[in-house]
């Protein structure tokens, strides 16, 4: 009789632990480890982890001159008076993209570099070290 209660307890306890682990793993992906634009909300349902580090070993020859921001310097300065946090974010992004070496710029598209800038902080740092 005790064995029956022990088995039920084990099943319920295992289910509880599994639920806890699932909840814990989702809570660790709340977007705080990413570099999201001001006002952006992280959605686990829309997030897809992509590892672009493999592109460092490829010999691609994409264009070096790219438009990383969808607005020009005048529009960026206008943003400064309306949304200082947004201005700082996009100014930092512009500076980051401008400091990347030609080798990096030739290896990644604009969308890939934005993905790295926002979601892959480790690769983002690594790219600044490549000359």
Same domain for 57 and 25, yes or no, is no
Predicted local distance difference test score (pLDDT) of residue 1: 52
Residue of 92 and 61 predicted with greater confidence = 92
Residue pointed to by tokens 């983002």: 124
Residue of 97 and 32 predicted with greater confidence = 97
Inter-residue contact 22 to 82 (CB < 8 Å): no
Question: If you average pLDDT over residues 99-109, what whole number do you get?
Answer: 94
Question: If you average pLDDT over residues 7-33, what whole number do you get?
Answer: 51
Q: How far, in Å, are 2, 31, 37, 52 from residue 40 at the CA level? A: 54, 10, 6, 23
Same domain for 85 and 21, yes or no, is no
Cβ neighbours of residue 53 under 8 Å, at least 6 residues apart?
Answer: 123, 126
Number of compact structural domains in the chain: 2
Predicted local distance difference test score (pLDDT) of residue 5: 55
Inter-residue contact 29 to 44 (CB < 8 Å): yes
Structural domain range at position 58: 50-131
Predicted local distance difference test score (pLDDT) of residue 26: 44
């Amino acid at each position: 009789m005790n064995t029956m209660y022990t088995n039920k307890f084990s099943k319920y306890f295992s289910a509880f632990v599994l639920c806890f682990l699932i909840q814990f793993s989702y809570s660790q992906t709340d977007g705080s480890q990413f570099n999201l634009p001001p006002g952006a909300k992280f959605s686990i349902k829309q997030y897809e982890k992509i590892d672009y580090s493999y592109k460092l070993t490829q010999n691609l020859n994409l264009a070096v001159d790219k438009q990383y921001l969808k607005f020009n310097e005048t529009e960026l300065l206008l943003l400064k008076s309306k949304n200082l946090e947004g201005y700082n974010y996009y100014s930092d992004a512009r500076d980051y993209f401008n400091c990347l070496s030609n080798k990096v710029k030739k290896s990644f598209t604009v969308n890939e570099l934005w993905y790295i800038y926002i979601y892959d902080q480790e690769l983002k740092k690594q790219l600044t070290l490549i000359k």
